[in-house]
Amino acid sequence: DLVQVPAVMESEDRVKQRIIDAHRVLISLNDANRNEFKDLISALECN
């Protein structure tokens, strides 16, 4: 069953920063995560 995702009451910039911060934590855990998420973080930081 599909469930509606609740609306986020934060700015786009704040949500983007939360995503970047979360992925930086994942990257800090191991090299596999670093390889997996480094391009995502770079892309988010450029936009």
- Which pLDDT tens digit goes with each residue over 1-47? 999 988 889 999 999 999 999 999 999 999 999 999 999 999 999 97
Label residue 3 left, alpha or beta by phi (over 0 means left) and psi (-120 to 50 means alpha). Answer: beta
Q: What is the pLDDT of residue 47?
A: 78
Q: What is the pLDDT of residue 32?
A: 97
Q: What is the pTM of this model?
A: 0.78
Phi and psi of 2, rounded to 5°?
A: -85, 140
Q: What is the pLDDT of residue 41?
A: 97
Distance CA(16)–CA(22), nearest Å, equals 10
**Single-letter residue type at 15:** V
Six-digit token pair at 21?
A: 């911060």
